[in-house]
Amino acid sequence: MWLEDKIYFRSDRKGEFNLFSFDPGSKKVSQLTAHSDFPVVNASAGEGKIIYEQAGYLHVYDAKKAKSVKLTINLAADLPETRKRYIKAFHYIRNADISPTGARAVFEMRGEIITVPAEKGDPRNLTNTPSANERSPVWSPDGKYIAYFSDKSGEYELFVRSQDGKGTARKYKPIGGGFYDQPVWSPDTRKISYTDNSRSLYWMDLETGASKKIAAEPLYRSFEQRKIKSAWSPDSKWIVYTRNTKASIQQLYVYSVTQGKSYPVTDGMSESRNPVFDENGNCLYFLSSTDAGPVRQWFAQSHSAMRMTSSIYVAVLSRKVPSPLAKESDEEINTKRGKTLSSSSRTAIDFDGLNKRILPLPLPSGNYRDLQAGTAGKIYYLKDSSIGSGDDTSPASLCRFDFKSRKEEVILTGINSYILSKDKNKILYQSKDVWGIVPASTNVKAGQAKIDTG
């Protein structure tokens, strides 16, 4: 390109393509730009200036000023996609939770946090922020607050807002690698555990706003099922979580909030996941598989026809607590002794010999997922017959196992997911395009007690 008395051209003689000039009189070649990330392309000269593309932007080089300026271009258009319009909110639901008594449910809908009544009343938009994305709402155990993550400030932060939408939300800045997810309230409503984009697990003290790192995955995986998942003990002093070994097999750990230290529960020789504490704090329930190895190696195509099966296990945490699966014997009871006192909800863990106090439930192995603890001595879970890793969302049957009767009972069929309320009396379920809240004590069919999600 000729400008005045010099020739201008692109060259990669010093690495990346940049603008250069050549003076025919002095035979001197000069470098005019110094872009090192992306090349200069499509340069064109005119009226003493050169316009060129670099890194997806247009730049103008002024030959007289010997200076390059990046252009900022805005295009205004009246596009149908940008206009305000009504939509069916159900198709945009990403996360959900149920209030402690099951009176309402909270949904993440298209970047808004909205609560919906089980029967009577109107939906309530707690955020109403079209320019921000709110996600991952969870209802506090005392029913007063809803916590969620929001990028309103530009980066995701934790917000805690009154469940009725009144007042100003409290804002917390978590530590970690950003794009936070999976918030879990502690039962005392004073703490929240969460994960970040680096696949690390943290807990935050809501009174001080301080966060502490618990653990991190040894290898980064970009897909959802590799995220660390956690659950709190009833006394809010322990956090149980899963973490992958270097062999990509999930291992169970418990973290002491007071000690700031983690302890292994399983040995890493089996695929263990979905841990939850019993309501009385004496036991830990989880899923475990001994044939998961080929299926968990997701990149290999050789496992496409293989099936991973799991069994449900119970770990008795204290040596002083009898096993809920101890051999039964009918005996005469002295009625004058009075009633047996209920167990304390305080969690005490004896790590010595813990691996010998882990027992499988008297249930056949199968495809189990979404294990949740009900009232003391009862657990809920989804069971289906599909082939896969057990982490999918295919239609399944919601079952309940009672340690007192040691029998399984089917509660719901044909559902994709469910959440048990804090008081263990209600269930929020999702079946295809239906969300509903039903009692946890009766047998119902999917589609009953449907709630209006818009």
Interval 149-158 mean pLDDT: 95
Res 380 pLDDT > 90 = yes
> What pLDDT shows up at residue 451?
75
The DSSP symbol for 366 reads: B
Higher pLDDT, 125 or 337: 125
Sheet order of strands, 40-46 included:
40-46, 49-54, 57-62, 67-70
Res 413 pLDDT > 50 = yes
Confidence band, pLDDT 50/70/90 cuts, at residue 268: very high
Confidence band, pLDDT 50/70/90 cuts, at residue 382: very high
Res 447 pLDDT > 70 = no
> What pLDDT shows up at residue 275?
97
> What pLDDT shows up at residue 337?
45
Percent of all residues in the chain with a pLDDT value above 70, rounded to a whole number: 90
Q: Tell me the per-residue pLDDT of 303-355, one tens digit each, with 9 for 90 and over.
A: 666 778 999 999 999 999 999 999 888 887 665 544 433 444 689 999 999 99
Q: Tell me the per-residue pLDDT of 217-236, one tens digit each, with 9 for 90 and over.
A: 988 765 544 467 899 999 99
Residue of 104, 87, 86, 139 lying closest to 435 (CA atoms): 104
DSSP string spanning 411-452?
EEEEESEEEE-TTSSEEEEEETTEEEEEESSS---EEEEB--
Res 105 pLDDT > 80 = yes
User: Can you list the pairs that 286-293 forms with residues at least 24 positions away whose Cβ atoms lie under 8 Å?
Assistant: 286/252, 286/312, 286/313, 286/315, 286/371, 287/311, 287/312, 287/313, 287/368, 287/369, 287/371, 287/381, 287/390, 288/313, 289/390, 292/249, 292/389, 293/249
Confidence band, pLDDT 50/70/90 cuts, at residue 388: low
Q: What is the mean pLDDT of the chain?
A: 90
pTM for this model (two decimals): 0.79
Confidence band, pLDDT 50/70/90 cuts, at residue 390: very low
> What pLDDT shows up at residue 307?
78
Percent of all residues in the chain with a pLDDT value above 90, rounded to a whole number: 73
Residue of 223, 228, 214, 276 lying closest to 419 (CA atoms): 276
3-state secondary structure 85-107: CCCCHHHHEEEEEECCCCCEEEE
